[in-house]
Amino acid sequence: MNQVEYHLKLTIYLWCGATPVQYSVDSQLRDIWAAHIPGLAYETAGIQRFMQFMYQDALFGPCPAAHNMTPGEFVTGGDLQTVKAVYGRLLGCGSAPSPTAILSDVMLPFALSKAAQAQTAAAKPAKRRKRS
Amino acid sequence: MSPRDLAVLAFMFAAQIFLTAQIPGTVQGYQKQGGDYRLKLVLDFDTFAAADQWFGQPSSPGRSFVNYKLYLVSAPNTSQMNLMDVSQTYFDRSGPPAACDRSFSCPSDQMIIDTYNKTIEIPLRASLHSEASYLLEVSGPSQGRLDASISASPSVVSYDEALLRNSLKVTANVNLASSYPQPITVTRTFVGGLGASTETYKATVSRVDLDGIVLRLDHKLPATKGNPMQLTVSGITDSYGTAVLIKSKIASVPAAPTDLTKAFVTTQLSATAAVHSLPTFSGTGALAPWHPVQRNIILPRGLQFDPSVSFDVGSGNSKSTNAVTIPSQFIRPWIFGIPNAKRVGLPSDLNTLKSVSPKVLNGMFGPRAEFDTQYGGTNVLGETRAELYLTSLYQTSSFQGAGIAMGNPAIRDLLDLPGNGFSLAPYLQFDGGGHVTAQSITNSGVGTVNAHISTYKISRLYLGVKGTAQYARNTIALDGSWVDIFLAESVPFIQNKVVLVRRINGFQPHAKGTYSIYLDDAKHLAGSVSWENGRSAPSFGYLNKVTIGLQVTY
């Protein structure tokens, strides 16, 4: 997991409580929000809160790429609809990875954590069986 | 070197020329629909910046047919792309070489320029093939080359708001056949239940427009789907009979907001007529111009400004509260239940995070005004209200649908999302202020005295719950509350045609439930039955009534 991926997942978690196992890189931000936050519209409160938590993040806060995002890009039809789209824009906030690394990151940004999640998920039932 | 090799070299040379000598511009080439336009090719230069230079003057290169070429493109957009000059096959150069202005009478075998619509029509010997890609080139001695790619690019669009559900238009850049002996098939693909499902519609050509073929479906497409509908149209052919398979996404008829807090206007209208009595009309509802999400007014510090007016008025003995109320306008949500950043220290911690169920406290505050439309009293108050939204009590169709879509992004647009759900939200509300108008209500009967109400202070606390439940076309909306009136309020009421004044304080219950069955798929119109029991501000008259009427929501 690279620096940007970690901070984006953390931002999403603090934004609406969605854990990385609940969504994927192609998930739409509006779906993640609407599935977790009852009674508040994504356009009204979700976008504003996402940008608030992004700016509060230690990596994204001082990063120009994060500040170049506008609320309009998160509205339907804008460029920033999915986790992948936001990740792609925030890649510049990382510790200057090589162009090849950036390309591979964009293609498979969450691959490592997915593998870790699979391992975690596989390990959990065994623990439960022991307890019972 | 064989002739084939020479041809390949020539194509590559031509491709190089195109790559190095293209003029930046946005001209578009296409064929119109209909039998009359089968042998016409249109070059549209409406958005082309250098249109005047290329087409505007009598000597412009775009007005001379000799400057036009048409290429057949094989393997377009690849490194293997080849171009074959097919101008001789397609262009009908039998007419005069110079373009004719459409404002004059032009022969059909001549190029026709329309300087108003900024198009030029080129006569063809043969219609374009739907399975091929073409490149239309215009060259000028000093201007260079101008080209437009042409491919069929078939699509389906909704073209008429009033016919969104049973009519579609097929568009393409090549001329399509205008009539079909066999029915055309439209298939909607979606994922619901255990796997992919389809719905099939038979369609017939109802009309041919210049920009597309209008299809009439044998039954209506579904409405109010959260996702775009995935449609496949088969049975359409080009003018050579070659099948053109069309796949497109179409938005379904949008639904009216079932959550009334997101509606622009909601009203329930009813009327009663009986022998020996005057007709009675009543209307209840709310008007909120900035409720719809796209019109929300967001202020700094997470505040939302959302003014609205609610009304409950009626004539005669309609038993309405006869009040117009302007509730508080400012909304500030707070979200609880999400751990702070300190709980996630290491990257590996992210993978072991437990799922949480955030809670939302929607705080509302601002001035509130209550107007008695029957006797003219006015209350001016300050209002504070808090609504609590819990995940377990908020299972609306959109909430459930988002959960499914979030976990299945690859097939998100195919998912047939649920349309049923419910929500319940407890609330606490405090109103404090005063009755600001001193009233003297005249009683005209003999031996009666006028009713006097002086100004007084108001202090009320509400504890209640509001909710909705939705199942297919059926919706139930509930709002039940207890109000504790700390300071007694004086309100007028009528008894035996005499206006009297009652004083109200202490706990007063009020409940209203409305069952609606929607009459249209977009859920704008509904037949509704409301039951209301208890006392409510500002008149606090005891109501126990059932109202049957028409509910309108937009």
Which chain B residues are Cβ-neighbours of A35 within 8 angstroms?
A: 399, 402-403, 405-406
Residues linked to residue B8 through DSSP beta bridges, in sequence order: none
A113, pLDDT greater than 50: no
Interface touch B407/A38, C-beta < 8 Å = no
Instruction: Give me the pLDDT at residue B378, please.
Output: 94
CA distance B364 to B334: 11
Question: How confident is the prediction for chain A on average, in pLDDT?
Answer: 77
pLDDT at B189 over 50: yes
Nearest chain B alpha carbon to A123: B352
In this prediction, residue A98 has a pLDDT band, given cuts at 50, 70 and 90, of: very low
A7 touches chain B (CB under 8 A): no
Which of B262, B293, B340, B350 to substitute to test the interface with A, most A CBs within 10 Å?
A: B350
B487 neighbors B379 (Cβ within 8 angstroms): no
CB contact under 8 Å between B409 and A18, yes or no, is: no
Q: What is the mean pLDDT of residues B470-476?
A: 86
Least confident span in B230-234, B329-333, B364-368, B444-448:
B444-448
> Which is more confidently placed, B315 or B356?
B356
Q: What is the mean pLDDT of residues B386-400?
A: 91
Kindly determine whether residue B406 and residue A18, on different chains, have CB atoms separated by under 8 Å: yes
> Rounded mean pLDDT of chain B?
85
pLDDT band at B16 (very low <50, low <70, confident <90, very high): very low
- Per CB-CB distance under 8 Å, the chain A contacts of B352 are 120
Chain B nearest-CA residue for A24: B407
Query: Does A17 sit within 8 Å of B356, measured CB to CB?
Result: yes
- Look at A35 and B406 and tell me if their CB atoms are within 8 Å: yes
Average pLDDT of B324-331?
92
Question: Is the Cβ pair A35, B399 closer than 8 Å?
Answer: yes
Q: Please, which pLDDT band fits residue B519 given cuts at 50, 70 and 90? A: confident
Q: Does A54 touch chain B (CB under 8 A)?
A: no
Residues of chain A positioned with their CB less than 8 A from the CB of B412: 28, 31
Q: What is the pLDDT of residues B193-223, one digit of tens each?
A: 667 788 899 999 999 999 999 999 998 887 7
Most confident among B181-190, B426-435, B496-505, B525-534 (mean pLDDT): B426-435
pLDDT of residue A107: 42
Is the confidence at residue A49, as pLDDT, over 70? yes
Helix, coil or strand: residue B63: helix
- Find tokens 């995070």 and name the residue: B353
Which residue, among B430, B432, B420, has the nearest Cα to B476 in the 3D structure? B420
pLDDT surpasses 70 at B146: yes
Give pLDDT, residue B404: 87
- A121 in reach of chain B (CB within 8 A): no
**Mutation for testing the B interface, residue in A26, A44, A70 having most B CBs under 10 Å:** A44
What would the mean pLDDT of B58-64 be, rounded to a whole number? 90
Give B-chain residues touching A82 at CB under 8 angstroms: 409
Q: Which of A88-97, B491-500, B528-537 has the lowest mean pLDDT?
A: A88-97
The residue of chain A nearest to residue B332, with distances taken between CA atoms, is: A45
Band (pLDDT 50/70/90 cuts) for residue B473 is: confident
Q: State how far residue B448 is from chain A, nearest Cα, in angstroms.
A: 53
H/E stretch holding B464: strand B456-471
Task: Report the range of poorest mean pLDDT among A110-124, B107-121, B498-512.
Answer: A110-124
User: Is some CB atom of chain B closer than 8 A to the CB atom of A84?
Assistant: no
- Per-residue model confidence (pLDDT) at position B59: 87
Chain B hits for A110, CB-CB cut-off 8 Å, are: none
Q: Determine, for residues A13 and B423 on separate chains, whether the beta-carbon distance falls below 8 Å.
A: no
Q: Provide the pLDDT for residue B194.
A: 64
What is the share, in percent, of chain A residues with pLDDT greater than 90? 51
Domain ranges of chain A: 3-96
Q: Which long-range contacts (CB under 8 A, 24 or more apart) does B203-211 make?
A: B203/B168, B203/B233, B203/B235, B204/B180, B205/B178, B205/B179, B205/B180, B206/B167, B208/B33, B208/B34, B208/B178, B209/B33, B209/B34, B209/B169, B210/B32, B210/B33, B210/B34, B210/B37, B211/B32, B211/B33, B211/B169, B211/B171
C-alpha span between A16 and A28 (Å, rounded): 13
Task: Please indicate whether residue B433 or residue A111 has the higher confidence score (pLDDT).
Answer: B433
- pLDDT beyond 50 at A130: no
Q: What is the ipTM of this complex?
A: 0.74
